[in-house]
Structure 1
Amino acid sequence: MIEADNLAHLTEIINLAAIQQLPKATEHFVSDLHGEYDAFDHILRNGSGSIREKIDTLFGDTLSAAEQTELCFLIYYPEELLQEKQLDDSDWQTLMEQLVTVARFTSSKYTRSKVRKALPTAFAYILEELLYQYDADFNKEAYYNAIFEQIIALDAAPLFCQELAFLIQRFVVDHLHVLGDIYDRGPAPDKIIDRLMALPSLDIQLGNHDILWIGSFCGSLPCLANMLRIAARYGNLSLLQDGYGIDLSEAIAFSRKHYTENQAFYPRHTVDALSAEQQEEAMLLQQAFTIIQFKLEASVIQRRPEFDMQDRMLLHLIDANRQTIHMNQGYPLINACFQTIDHTAPYRLTSEEETMINDLMTQIQASIRLKQHVQFLAEKGTLFQQANGNLLFHGCIPCQENGDFLAFTFGDKSYQGKDLLLFFQDCLLQSLATPHLQDDLATDMIWYLWCGEGSSLFGKKAMKTFERYFIADSVTHQEQKNAYYRLRENEAFCCHVLAAFGLPATGHIINGHTPVKVRKGETPIKANGRLLVIDGGLSRSYQSVTGIAGYTLLSNSFGMTLAAHQPFTNRQRAIEERIDIVSKKRLVVRQSERILVGQTDIGVQLQKESLSLKNKMKQQRHQR
């Protein structure tokens, strides 16, 4: 006779074994979102084309292409489209039946318990009945019809359809991987993070632009100056002012006092048109924060000789008349805005600059919304992730030309490869824990992650911000990439990287960070499919170079598929004209047999739990 305690263990063991036989749920990979909220939101809503594929599977023989598109967009944007619908009772029932069919199909990979937890409270009981409809044609046909009839009679059909649409979006993708660069360039990274915070299952591999915002909150003044400069450069000052409540009035007054018209510093093209006054403010502020950035960076370089970045201190090489800089040779200066640089002490902040940047730091650290977003990034974000045999990180693993990992010494210890990334991660956590410290190694290391040679996020020898602004000769602008970006074309090298992280050669490396220039013939699939780059230019500022608007990756029980996306104009036009943005899909990995949960990381955990329960049952038997 099985005792009550053992019966509970027995039931759970059976449950865990059964779950492992389910098909692997879908993972969705996105990267380099760069504040493009509308495009990102659309990709989440359509599951990178997954919903359209499922509708074609279910209704390809019964609905026309136009009718399928209409059903797709109703699932993507039920808030707007259901308001347009003027349907009679029969049409409402047909629509509900179609949505229930899609919801049942998309939830079929999950246990009943998991589905139940995802159901909206208001309709949970009804939806559970409809989703597990085993005998609708016989004993329960009238029962199900009565449910639909009452929903319509009570004027609840639009709300019910809306909840079904959101449920389908939820079921299509089980887990989201974000491979970095949520911030900068685009106008609404704050909205992206709000959206991410509402998702049930995700992880984030931090990017170099995310690090700037985290570093700013953690007290790094050079990170803050860089972040402010980039916000001005892309005309995104409203993100700071309206999104995070930062008062820029004193900074604007300072920049008006000391800087003048300079065409090179007007903001780049933005999605939302800026007024003439806003453009002028951004132009002046970008000059001010650029000079403050160079001064603040020098203070870190001077106190951290181990960073080996002395060649990035350039202000003292400007001649007294501010027309020439003497590096390896003399270069005439363009776009000069060196009014606040003292030739005798070029890296010293003026009293006004110091007051202004410290005030802005105080405001940044006092912003409640920014604190919530940074804490979320700290909770979900890492510099790399190992998931189901794959290695995910934003940029690179710093390497030598021969493929060996580059070693960097900080303090009294040398780091390379995985250990280097773990060291950076520890510094990040230390700085987050002590945001009041501004010149400690951990906080300085966050700035190093932005632009240091050993950074896995930067991946270049040196950042040439000064040269790009102030020297006409484009040869000086070139930023030498780390050898990783050449070596990653080689399958043996990729297997070497996977092995260094304890992963099998059958795994994949998945990167973001470097836009794939499709227009120039580049491909996101490298090293015979062992490495995938999914930054295809979601940011509008890249699309003239890439030729597309980003890649995303889907991994399900059948394999891995890359989706290439068309440029996304805006939400309103997409809805009005029914414009989807998935232009092409390409199967990267095809499985000869479907992958089951038991073959995933979750399966490994379930196996451990099952073994633990079996051991408990044995112990209880022996005790008796």
Structure 2
Amino acid sequence: MRKEELRYLQRLAELYPTIGKASTEIINLQSILNLPKGTEHFLSDLHGEYEAFSHVLRNGSGAVRKKIDDVFGHTLSNSDKRALATLIYYPKDKIDVIKNEEEDMENWYKITLYRLIEVCKTTASKYTRSKVRKALPADYAYVIEELITEKAEVLDKEAYYDAIVNTIIQIGRAENFIIALAELIQRLVVDHLHILGDIYDRGPAPHFIMDRLMEYHSLDIQWGNHDVVWMGAAAGQQACIATVLRNSIRYGNLDILEDGYGINMLPLATFAMEVYGEDSCEIFSIKGSSDYNILEKELGKKMHKAIAVIQFKLEGKLVRKHREFQMEDRALLHRIDPKKGTIVMPDGKEYPLRDTKFPTVDWNHPYELTEGEREVMDKLSSAFRNCEKLQRHILFLLDKGGLYKAYNGNLLFHGSIPLNEDGTFREVQIYGKSYKGKELYDILEAYVRRAYYAVDKEEQKKGRDIMWYIWAAPNSPLFGKSKMSTFERYFIEDPATHEEKKNAYYRLWEKEEIVDQMLLEFGLDPEKGHIINGHVPVHQSEGESPVKCNGKVIVIDGGFCKAYRKVTGIAGYTLIYNSYGLTLCAHEPFTSKADAIAKETDIASNRVAVRYTPRRLLVGDTDTGYALKERIQELIQLLEAYRKGIIKEKSK
């Protein structure tokens, strides 16, 4: 036995000091391998839509309703099933409604408790008792375990369970117990959650989504481009800060910054009124259905223009500093002829500008901030870097997130893998070195982490700047378009200048040999694996399918964000991967929590099987299972070492 092997087994022996303990652990692990695979739930592009996200999280994209169907079949009417499902999603609120309608509450409590217990039993059956026990609410752990565990030694089971349920009702704990059971079902119905990017921007409450995710029992997050730009802002990268502010103002979501994160907008508002007070700022109107009054809208437009001009200055300076980004075509201010009111674009074409008032631009040094602009950005940088809640959310994204994840044979990411037109991986320059495929993802993620954790100040700066690059660069895996035409959309009427051509990935994802090559690049089996990504809304209303390449690529951005629904026609795709296979769910628009409770409406409207497995998948077929099998082999080696006298047992 090699020294390293012996040393490892000696460390393992500290955990399992006897033949008996090692043998018991092998038996326990082997039994876990034969349990059904846990349910994975995939969501993407939440864009701040907290209520819709919360509902989908509660219903498990239809997984809760499926459990109810499994348990009760045709023994319950559809209306009773809907009522039970709504109770599980919103137990406290639904009980309040029932109390105003139901005359015999004691009878309702009893029927409901028994129904929830049955659903709980089925939901818990695919886990070990130890795992279920850890999920139980502390106050009712013992009683719930008694109710959902079959007890062979009890002769009159009906009387035994009746006694427990009756006691719960008699002592006035029925409502609390129903809430506890409902939340336990929500907790057990999904084993692991995957968020495939873009928690931030567009919608009004990304901070609430982050709070909810921080409480979730098991998850991972693949960063989206909108998440990374917020991460850059939190690190103090000023072009990212300006972008975050402009997006928030443009969509009428300043409440996120002011109320959600306590970031003071007064310095920007004061500056905007001083500089743009006489400017109508017409092209900077606020999108969406914000509830601003007339004065707030007028101020909003001025703030919008002020931060947009600051953004274009900061971006121009950044791409000139980092020539290796190959984004100099995004430095546009020096191309403006202020006398003619036109701009000559990088392709040589000249266009009239929709707005020609640039009071803060020094045409000899167009990318330099004025003293007032610098003061505003310094105050905002300090606010972002010192916002405790934002920093807590970003550290959570760093802890649970990354640019991609290989999980149970599938490749998860938000955007695209940069490809050449022939399907080969595109080589991309990052700070003087060339990367492609998986290496490109790895180096970009490493630089993001350096922005927060590197000791070297220069590496920190590179990390901060790379986050803006990830947000906006054509060769960024999270952007994947020829350019971000923000300036053109504001200032140039011609829609041809607004076009953002997608990376070849989006044209080649129907070619099986190219998809197989991408899966192999990340160490996955192309015969079994899938690419699952978001980022690009699926235009269902135009007949587009979210399933590409005979099911090997699945796109799950369907339109959680209200701003996208005119083109998508739906309110989001989600994906479920359980022991029977992959199921894609299309969602109807979510109206409100109040409607969901009162009308018992649900939004998982259409479930389509992407791939059924020939046999039911077990824990042994998962990444966790492979790790457990390795542990079993190590424990078998430890047993041999004990039996051969290489390692001595410790009786105490």
User: For this structure pair, what is the TM-score category when the shorter chain's length is used for normalisation?
Assistant: over 0.9
2:638 corresponds, among 616, 619, 624, to 616
Unaligned runs of 5+ in 2: 1-15
Quote how far apart the aligned CAs of 1:231 are. Answer: 0.4
| Residue 212 in structure 1 maps to residue 229 in structure 2 | yes
Deviation at 1:40, TM superposition (A): 0.3
Secondary structure at 1:185 match in 2: coil
Please give the TM-score of this superposition, normalised by the length of structure 2. 0.93
Alpha-carbon distance, 1:555 to partner? 0.2
Structure-2 residue corresponding to 1:12: 25
SS at match of 2:644: helix
Distance between the aligned counterparts of 1:564 and 1:338, measured in 2?
46
Q: Which residue of 2 aligns with 1:561?
A: 583
Letter in 1 for 2:291: A
Partner residue, 1:76: 89
SS across alignment from 1:440 = helix
SS at match of 2:337: coil
Q: 1:420 aligns with which of 440, 451, 457?
A: 440
Q: Does 2:277 align with 1:254?
A: no
Residue of structure 2 equivalent to 1:356: 376
Matches within 5 A, 1:184-199: 184-199=201-216
- The 3-state SS of whatever aligns with 1:55 is helix
Q: Which residue of 2 aligns with 1:266?
A: 285
Distance 1:584 1:336 in 2: 50
Q: Deviations over 1:136-168 (max 9, x none)?
A: 994332221111111111110000000000000
Q: Which moved more, 1:200-209 or 1:84-93?
A: 84-93
Residue 330 (structure 1) aligns with: 350
| 8 A Cα contact 1:24 1:600, kept in partner | yes
2:558 alignment partner, one of 515, 531, 536: 536
| CA distance, structure 2, for counterparts of residue 96 and residue 616 of structure 1 | 47
Alignment partner, residue 474 of structure 2? 453
Distance between the aligned counterparts of 1:351 and 1:52, measured in 2?
59
Q: What residue is the counterpart of 1:153 in the other structure?
A: 170
Report the equivalent of 1:65: 78
Query: Which residue in the other structure is 2:430 paired with?
Result: 410
Do structure 1's residue 49 and structure 2's residue 74 form an aligned pair? no
Contact 1:135–1:141, Cα closer than 8 Å, also in 2: no
State the distance in 2 between where 1:43 and 1:110 align.
Answer: 23
Separation of aligned partners in 1, 2:227 and 2:55: 22
Say if 2:130 is the partner of 1:108.
Answer: no
| Partner amino acid, structure 2, of 1:573 | D
**Counterpart residue identity of residue 187, structure 2:** R
8 Å Cα contact 2:338/2:356 also seen in 1? no
Contact 2:587 2:605 in 1 (8 A): yes
Q: Partner residue of 1:181?
A: 198
- Does the 8 Å contact 2:418/2:475 carry over to 1? yes
1:498, 1:509 within 8 Å by CA — same for their partners in 2?
yes
Q: CA deviation at 1:57?
A: 2.4
Alpha-carbon distance in structure 1 between the residues aligned to 2:330 and 2:432: 24
User: What is the CA–CA distance in structure 2 between the aligned matches of 1:472 and 1:435, rounded to whole Å?
Assistant: 47
* Residue of structure 2 aligned with 1:486, choices 476, 495, 507: 507
CA shift for structure 1 position 338: 2.0
Which residue in the other structure is 2:12 paired with?
Answer: none
Mapped pair 1:231 → 2:244: no
SS in 2 for 1:444: helix
Is the 1:390–1:508 Cα contact (8 Å) retained in structure 2?
yes
C-alpha deviation, 1:341, in angstroms? 1.2
Q: In the alignment, what sits opposite 2:310? A: 292
Aligned mates of 1:21, 1:432 — CA distance in 2: 42
In the alignment, which residue of structure 1 is the partner of 2:571?
549
Matched with 2:487 is: 466
Contact 2:236 2:384 in 1 (8 A): no
Secondary structure, counterpart of 1:85 in structure 2: helix
Please state if 1:22 is matched with 2:43: no
Please, which of 365, 369, 379 is the counterpart of residue 399 of structure 2? 379
Distance 1:335 1:134, change over 3 A: farther
- 8 Å contact kept, 1:335–1:470: yes
Q: Which residue matches 1:429?
A: 449
> 1:596 and 1:219, CA in 2 relative to 1: closer, same or farther beyond 3 A?
same
Q: Which amino acid aligns with 2:579?
A: S
> Would the aligned equivalents of 2:86 and 2:596 in 1 still touch at CA under 8 Å?
no
Aligned to 2:534: 512
Match of 2:3 in 1: none
Question: How far off is 1:437 after superposition?
Answer: 5.5
Match of 2:362 among 342, 356, 361: 342
- Counterpart Cα distance in 2 of 1:37 and 1:335: 36
Q: Distance in 2 between matches of 1:376 and 1:359?
A: 25
- Conserved? CA contact 1:136–1:144, under 8 Å: no
Aligned-residue offset at 1:266: 1.9
Which SS does the other structure have where 2:87 is aligned? Answer: helix
Aligned amino acid, residue 161 of structure 2: Y
| Residue in structure 1 matched with residue 115 of structure 2 by the alignment | 98
SS in 2 for 1:177: strand
**What is the deviation of 1:117?**
0.5
* Cα distance in 1, alignment partners of residues 298 and 153 from structure 2: 66
Which digits, 9 at most, give the CA deviation of each residue in 1:86-115, with x for residues without a partner?
A: 343222111100000001111111000000
Contact 1:292–1:349 under 8 Å retained in 2: yes
In the TM superposition, residue 4 of structure 1 has moved relative to its aligned partner by 7.1
Offset from partner CA, 1:350-373 (integer Å, 9 cap, x none): 000000011001011111100100
Sort the Cα spacing of 1:277 and 1:570 in 2 relative to 1 into closer, same or farther, 3 A: farther
- What RMSD in Å do the two structures reach over aligned CA positions? 1.6
Q: Unaligned stretches of 5+ in structure 1?
A: none
TM-score under structure 1 length normalisation: 0.97
Q: What is aligned with 2:52? A: 39
Partner of 1:317: 335
Query: Which amino acid counterpart does residue 589 of structure 1 have in structure 2?
Result: R
Structure 2: how far apart are the matches of 1:139 and 1:90? 22
How much does 1:387 deviate? 0.4
Contact 1:437/1:443 (<8 A) preserved? no
Bigger Cα displacement from structure 2, 408-417 vs 512-521: 408-417
Indicate if the aligned counterparts of 2:317 and 2:331 stay in contact, CA closer than 8 A: no
Tell me if structure 2 keeps the 8 A contact 1:185–1:541.
Answer: yes
Q: Following the alignment from structure 2 to structure 1, what is the Cα–Cα distance between the partners of residues 552 and 108?
A: 49
The count of aligned residue pairs is 621
Structure 2 counterpart of 1:283, one-letter code: K
Quickly say closer, same or farther: Cα 1:83–1:136, change in 2 above 3 A. farther
Distance 1:337 1:78, change over 3 A: farther
Cα separation, partners in 2 of 1:175 and 1:422, compared to 1, 3 Å: same
Does 461-470 or 408-417 show the bigger shift? 408-417
- The 8 Å contact of residues 322 and 333 in structure 1, kept in 2 or not, is answered as no
Within 2, Cα distance between the matches of 1:492 and 1:337?
52
Corresponding residue of 2:5: none
Equivalents in 1 of 2:59, 2:550: separation in Å? 29
